[in-house]
Amino acid sequence: MDALKVSLCGIPLDNPVIPASGTFGYGHEFAQWYDINCLGTFSFKGTTLSPRLGNPTPRIAECSAGMLNAVGLQNPGVHEVIREELPKLRSCFHKPVMANVSGFSVDEYVEACRLLAAEPQVGWLEINISCPNVHGGGMSFGTDPASAALVVEAVRKVTDKPLIVKLTPNVADIIPIARACEDAGADGISLINTLVGMRIDLKTRRPVLARQTGGYSGPGIFPVALRMVWQVAGAVHIPVVGMGGVSSAQDVIEMMLAGATAVQVGTANLVEPTICRDIIMDLPRVMERYGITSLSDIIGGAR
């Protein structure tokens, strides 16, 4: 199975398929559906320094090619994650995991990252500076190059583990932000987070989501994601992790051709809990069909 292997920021992956943060819990929810050790790795639920109850419900709305969510970073907080979730995770997943971290101040990012980086099972830190759901939250960091750099520089000082910065697509130009993260010491860029959207209920004439707007994800955003992965991969010298609407082996290959070193699968997990395993099993067949002998050879191959 060497044909599927890639290396992400110096850590080898058996394959490039990574369930995306917020769609895979802390792993054990999916270990009931299949042996999650087949994954390259997974990015666990966005974790903040303090526990968060999240937004009021409804938090979910359906769209023709995906869904909106306004979960609001509900999570038990970094201390509880280390105490309760990581031991459960260790029992069902035996590879380095990607720790996804959110914050509302530079200090919060730094402290949560410092604590998680000290955990042996954490391979990468994925810093979410893009969550569009929380007022005064990550949005301000991810939409401005200087603010993004501020977070990355500060977190860089507390860990030598690979730092991947997850970017929001809700910006006019993503390239300066990606470059600012690279210059500030990031080891990788992941993108895209959700696109801000909304739905209105015709019966009630009110927004479906309690928070009015939410993040649009699912197959509908794939072309937008692919375009941004293409742009960023052409602008930085660090690995790019592509995501946004990926739901098949073909999508994975397309993302890699656009320049992604690894590919995250998000919303598809919620509809088809075994989708990541299915994609991994399907990759050799699809690779053969398109004459691909090794996935690592095709990264950026469309350029």
Partner 1 sequence: MNDVLFTVLDNALLARDVYRLRLQGDTGAIARPGQFVNLKVEGCFLRRPISVCDLEEDVLTLIYKVVGKGTATLSRLVKGETIRALTGLGNGYDCAPAGERPLLVGGGVGVPPLFLLAKELRAADKAVCVCLGFGAKEDAFYLREFRELGCEVRLATLDGSLGHKGFVTEILPERYDHFFACGPEPMLQAVCAVTRTSGQLSFEARMGCGFGACMGCSCQTLTGSKRICREGPVLRKEELLWTR
- The catalytic site residues sit at 131
Query: Which of these segments, 7-15, 174-182, 237-245, 264-272, binds partner 1 (CB under 8 A)?
Result: 264-272
Query: Binding partner 1 by CB under 8 A: which of 77, 185, 234, 273?
Result: 273
Look up residue 142 and give its amino acid: G
Q: Is 63 in the site for partner 1 (CB under 8 A)?
A: yes
Look up residue 266 and give its amino acid: G
Query: Binding partner 1 by CB under 8 A: which of 33, 90, 92, 282?
Result: 33
Interface of this chain with partner 1, residues 214 to 243, rule: CB under 8 A: 218-219
Q: Is 24 in the site for partner 1 (CB under 8 A)?
A: yes
Per the CB < 8 A criterion, the answer to whether 48 and 82 are in contact is no
Alpha helices in the chain (DSSP H): 28-31, 78-80, 86-92, 106-117, 139-142, 145-156, 175-183, 222-233, 249-258, 268-271, 275-289
Q: Is 54 in the site for partner 1 (CB under 8 A)?
A: yes
By beta-carbon proximity to partner 1, the closer residue of 48 and 143 is 48
Shortest Cβ 58–partner 1 spacing (Å): 5
Q: Enumerate residues 6+ apart whose C-beta is below 8 A from 144.
A: 177
Shortest Cβ 269–partner 1 spacing (Å): 7
Could you tell me which of 173, 167, 175, 176 has the C-alpha nearest to residue 195?
167
Which helix (H) or strand (E) segment holds residue 167: the answer is: none
Q: Is 67 in the site for partner 1 (CB under 8 A)?
A: yes
**How far is Cα 3 from Cα 201, in angstroms, rounded to an integer?**
48
Q: Is 204 in the site for partner 1 (CB under 8 A)?
A: no
Chain residues binding partner 1 by CB under 8 A are: 22-25, 29-30, 32-33, 45, 53-54, 57-67, 69, 71, 74, 218-219, 269-271, 273-274
